[in-house]
Amino acid sequence: MISGSCLCGGICYEYDGEIQEISMCHCAQCRKAQGTAFVAVGPIESVKFKLISGNTLLKSYRSSPNKTRVFCSHCGSPLYSELDGKPEVKRLRLGTIDGAIICSNRYHTHVGSRASWDEIADGYPRFEGAKT
């Protein structure tokens, strides 16, 4: 079981599964939404994701015609995003996980639009745009 929370602790969740993939997205939209060089996300099965507390604190923002970003309305922590065409999958913001996870399937996406001041110094695969 994976547990996580927002910065203020008002929203707590559990995920009854494993993180199978870590995508580090460098696109301008993710940089703006996170306030940093990239976002680390992992796709998770929606049916295995459970809010333990803080349902009333959840807010969402429609960042593009088919994508919703969900965050805590109290502290602003981004928690996950959802695509309209894939309700069975959430893209969990991995920085909200409380504790360690193990996942060797890691890669960078949208490195063609990464921040000019960012340097990718690891050996993980890189994709100029979305991973295909």
In a domain, 82, yes or no: yes
Whether 13 is in a domain gets the answer yes
CA trace torsion 87, 108, 36, 19 (10° rounding)? 50
* Structural domain span for residue 24: 2-113
Cα separation, 119 vs 115, whole angstroms: 8
In a domain, 131, yes or no: no
Does the pTM exceed 0.75? Answer: yes
pLDDT single digits (tens) 16-41: 999 999 999 999 999 999 999 999 99
Residue 121, token pair as written in the block: 């110094």
Q: Which residue has the tokens 């870590």?
A: 22
What CATH number does the domain containing 37 carry?
A: 2.170.150.70
